[in-house]
Each structure stands twice: as C-alpha cells, then as structure tokens.
A and B are shown apart, each in its own frame.
Chain A
Amino acid sequence: MADNMKPIASYVFEMQDLNGWYGDRQVLKNISLLIPEQQITAIIGPSGCGKSTFIRCLNRINDLIRDFRISGRVLFKGQDIYDPAMDPVEIRLRVGMVFQKPNPFPKSIYDNVAYGPLIWGARKGPELDAAVEKSLKRTALWDEVKDILHQSALALSGGQQQRLCIARALAVEPEVLLLDEPCSALDPIATSRIEELLFELKKSYTIVVVTHNMQQAARVSDITGFFLLGELIEVGETKHIFTNPTDRRTEDYITGRFG
C-alpha cells in the first residue's frame, strides 16, 4: 500500500485502521495512511468512494453529522484526535478546511477573514487588520480587494470567494489545510489560480486535497491516494501512480476505463 513512498522526514497524520459508518452503512474500511508534512496529498476516486468522508474525519467535522461514527485511530502529530479527552474545537484550529462550494459568510470581506481570529480571542485593532491583510496577501487576493474590504463578500466572483475562504481558513494559522474538491464549482481559470496558490501554500502548510479531477491531482500533488468503495486501494508518489500504478484498479480508474 504505502510501498511507493519515499521515506520522508515526518508525517503529520497517521490513520490506523480507520473505519467509518453512517448508521449501519460502512463508508470507510480499514484505512491506514500517512500524510507527510508540507507536501500536497491528493485523494482521488470515483463518486461515493468515501474520499470526502475520509477528509472530514481529519478535522472531526463529521462530528456534526448525527449518525456518523468511527473506529480506529487518527493520529495528528502523535495524538489521537478522537480521544474523548480531545476537544474537536482545538483540532479545528490547527487543521483548517475549505469546502467544495465557496461558503463565505454574508458579511464584509474583512469580517469574513477576521471572524476566525476574533472567535479565538483576537481584539479589533491594527493587529487584527494586519492579520487580515497577511491572510489576503497569502491567497493573492489583497490587491484585488484592498479597496473594498468592507463590501459584502458575496459580491465577489466564485473564484475570488473560494480564495477568500482559503484566506479565512489561514487567518487562524493552522498547520494543515484540508480542501474538499475546492475547484469543483469554479471555471478553469479560477481553478488554475487556486492550483498555483496551493503550490505556494505548500511551503508553509501541509495540504490534503480531495479531487475528482485526476489531471488536477496529477498536476498539483506530491502524493496521491486512490480510494474505491471505502477502501484505500493504493497510495504513493504521484509521478509513480500516474505513470505506472501497481494495482490494476488504479490503472483502470486513472485511464478512464471506469468511473
């Protein structure tokens, strides 16, 4: 499974026999996976294979879904995030998330980015302004919005809104950024801007991207994992997965013979 991985200095996430159920339906089966630090890991697979469910386990946002439960361990820097003593709210501070459909708050651009720091105790003032600016600069949005910071975020284009959501997530200084099909709702130009952004962000954050677009996974990621019907079929260096995958099912999916 992880036989095509170069030994890397450190891993940020380690999944050990992760299983997940919606009620009686099992959607994740025995997932064991390592997510390396400061690299982009892509998760690919056909619809319904569990990849979105999987990534949502990494910041426990699946807790919001009433019927969902897991077994197994999810270790974040050595600590099991599903340990009862762990507060999911703390985890989400360190593991940020961006969703498929851009979901800015119906507030101003400034208020969107400032929301995170504010709920974690930041005070309004020049420091907060600087933090907002820093986040927006990091997502290459600053120049476009610096004069309209107090306009509604909903007035931005889809691509800009998604970059705003990324800036918002970065404002609380997470260590990991999870992106669940971030470009599905965007046009190709907005998509490529976000992909460029991910390359930049890789230098400072560990990134996990779920995508149904294989070319995107190929372009952007260092490590790729292939999910099928809730199982992790194969994981390895992206260049290996896309030139010479080990598992027949991976090859068939990648070449479009099914899915």
Chain B
Amino acid sequence: MKFLSKDLRGILVRRYWADRIFRLCTVTMFLITLGTLAALLIDVFSDGVGRLSWAFLTSFPSRKPERAGILSALVGTVYLVILTAVIAFPVGVGAAIYLEEYARRGRMSRFIELNIANLAGVPSIIYGLLGLELFVRTMHLGQSLLAGALTMALLVLPLVIITSQEALRAVPPSIREASFALGASLWQTIWNQVLPLAFPGILTGAILAASRAIGEAAPLIIVGALTYIAFLPDSLIAPFTVMPIQIFNWVSRPQNGFYEAAAAAIIVLLALLFLMNVVSVYLRQKYQKRMSL
C-alpha cells in the first residue's frame, strides 16, 4: 500500500487515543445521566421512605400531616388509568389498523399521519382545556372521573396510534403475501396473521401510553380533579383526584410533614410505574414470537 505514509505506527497510535477519548466522553455523559437519576431517587427515598406504611396507603388525606394518606388519590389514579386504557386502546388500535392496512397511501394519509405525530407533542394542558369545554361542559359530564378519563384518552391517543402503526409495520410483508396468496381477505389476514404478530408491540405502546397518563396533573386539574377528596369515587361521574395532584397539593403546604408525605407518595407513584413496566416487559416476552427466518 504505497499511499500509506511511513508513519504507520504514528497513525495507529493517534487513532487509538482518539478512540479512548471518545469512549471517555460517552461514558462521562452516561454517568452524568445516571448520576442525576440516582440523585433524584436517593433524595426522594431518603425523604419519603420513613412515611411509607400500610396506614399511609389506606388513609384519606387530612389536615394533619401525620394522618394524611393517599387512598383516594391512589384509587383515583388506578381507576383513571384503567378507564383511559379502555377508551384509548380500542380506538387507537382501530385507527392504526385503518391507517396501516386499509387506507390508500397518498398525500392524504401522509397528511393525517403528520398531524397525529404533531398531536403527540401538544402540551397536555391544551388537552385539559379541550376536555373542559367538550366533556365537562358541552356533554354535561361535570368534573367527573369519566370526563378525566376521556381527556386523558385523547391525550394518549396519538401515542397509541403511532406505536400501534409501528408494530403493524414491523410485520413482514411476506407474511401478508402468503396469506393473500391462499385466498384470504384483508380482514382475515389482519385478524389471523398481522394482529397476533403485532400484538406485543401494540401492548407495549398501550403501556407506554398508560405510563404517560399516570403522571399528568395539569389537564386533570383543568378538567376538575379536586385536590382534596376524603372519599372514594363511587361512580363514573363522581369527583376524583389523582396522585400527581395530591403530591402537588402536599408540596404546596407549609408544614414539613406534608413534604415527607409528598415524597412517600412519589415513591408509590414510581413503584406503580415500575410495576407497569415490568408487566409490559413480561407480556412482551411472553407473546413475542420470531416473525421469520
């Protein structure tokens, strides 16, 4: 190789050093990220772990910090997430199936997809405003669990649609071709081959959406989730509250005891998120199949 300078050794040494420096930089970035997260968790845990107890989980909020509990918020969160999922999941997956399998590719469908992607990035408070006008006032649902769930469903719908579409797209076209070649209709192909294969991905998307919904406070405040509830919602149109709002409420109180209670509530919220992710991973593993050679 005549074009190589005689300084072959030098080039190799320089390359080696460049590699090391680059590696060092990326490791540092990683450690900064990890460190920040760790600091966050350690801070929260150290403040709140002392307050965790069965009583904490089963008591209603109270004006006295020692007696405050998250029962109503926890139950409200759980109800809200389930309800949101029930509404958003079929609608989102159905829309994704339509866009991916039935709709004709063209400027129109690209336009729609672009808008859905944009909607995913709209600040959640705007959804709150929409929910207020549409569900609370126009549909007369009042400041209820149902209105909250519908609002959250709207919020996470773009996410569900996008991730479901991705999951559907990941199914190899060869599988579809094979099904069509046997004389299957589009519906038979989707139901028997495409959906089962896309299911893990769709499920992951759904849980991702639920994780987003759990952490929202602003839109729910607008829709009318209360900050102090000492009872459990007994119907869909009952008033309700959720954990993030409860946490916000406690943090803005002057007493220190509430600060610790808020930290403890944060721990519970994180635990809930963690649990959901574990379930998502488990379900994904269970249903994931190799799709081809």
Q: Does a CB–CB distance below 8 Å link A and B in the complex?
A: yes
Shortest Cβ distance from residue A187 to the other chain B in the assembled complex, whole angstroms: 14
Say yes or no: is A61 at the interface (Cβ < 8 Å to chain B): yes
Q: How large is the interface on A (under 10, 10 to 19, 20 to 34, 35 or more residues)?
A: 20 to 34
- State which of A61, A93, A101, A172 has its C-beta within 8 Å of the C-beta of B293: A101
Say yes or no: is B180 at the interface (Cβ < 8 Å to chain A): yes
B183 and A103 within 8 A (CB): no
Chain A residues within an 8 Å CB radius of B192:
115, 119
Residue of chain B at shortest CB distance from A66: B105
- Please report the C-alpha to C-alpha distance between residue A103 and residue B173 in the assembled complex, in whole angstroms: 10
Considering only residues 99-133 of chain B, those with a C-beta below 8 Å from chain A are: 104-105
Say yes or no: is A89 at the interface (Cβ < 8 Å to chain B): yes
A103-B292 CB under 8 A given contacts A66-B104, A119-B188: yes
B183 and A119 within 8 A (CB): yes
Chain B residues within an 8 Å CB radius of A168:
178, 182
Residue of chain A at shortest CB distance from B185: A89
Q: How large is the interface on B (under 10, 10 to 19, 20 to 34, 35 or more residues)?
A: 20 to 34
Chain A residues within an 8 Å CB radius of B188:
119
Q: What is the total of A-B residue contacts with beta carbons within 8 Å?
A: 73
A105 and B178 within 8 A (CB): yes
Say yes or no: is B43 at the interface (Cβ < 8 Å to chain A): no
Residue of chain B at shortest CB distance from A112: B178
Say yes or no: is B64 at the interface (Cβ < 8 Å to chain A): no
Chain A residues within an 8 Å CB radius of B293:
101-102, 154, 158, 161
Chain A residues within an 8 Å CB radius of B172:
103
- State which of B104, B184, B292 has its C-beta within 8 Å of the C-beta of A119: B184
- State which of A61, A104, A106, A172 has its C-beta within 8 Å of the C-beta of B180: A61
Q: Residues 67-107 of chain A: 1 if any B CB is under 8 Å from the residue's CB, otherwise 0?
A: 00000000000000000000001101100110101111110
A116 and B197 within 8 A (CB): no
A106 and B290 within 8 A (CB): yes
- State which of B105, B183, B185, B292 has its C-beta within 8 Å of the C-beta of A106: B292
Shortest Cβ distance from residue B184 to the other chain A in the assembled complex, whole angstroms: 5
- State which of B182, B289, B290, B292 has its C-beta within 8 Å of the C-beta of A92: B182
- Please report the C-alpha to C-alpha distance between residue A168 and residue B177 in the assembled complex, in whole angstroms: 13
B289 and A103 within 8 A (CB): no
A99 and B178 within 8 A (CB): yes
Shortest Cβ distance from residue A29 to the other chain B in the assembled complex, whole angstroms: 25
- Please report the C-alpha to C-alpha distance between residue A25 and residue B111 in the assembled complex, in whole angstroms: 27
Say yes or no: is A35 at the interface (Cβ < 8 Å to chain B): no
Chain A residues within an 8 Å CB radius of B184:
89, 115, 119
- Sample of 24 A–B contacts (CB below 8 Å): A59-B181, A64-B176, A89-B184, A90-B183, A93-B182, A93-B183, A97-B181, A101-B293, A103-B175, A103-B177, A103-B292, A104-B178, A105-B193, A106-B197, A106-B291, A115-B184, A119-B183, A119-B185, A120-B183, A158-B293, A161-B293, A165-B178, A168-B182, A169-B181
Chain B residues at the A interface, C-beta cutoff of 8 Å: 104-105, 172, 174-185, 188, 192-193, 197, 289-293
A-B residue pairs, 3 tightest by C-beta: A103-B174, A92-B183, A97-B181
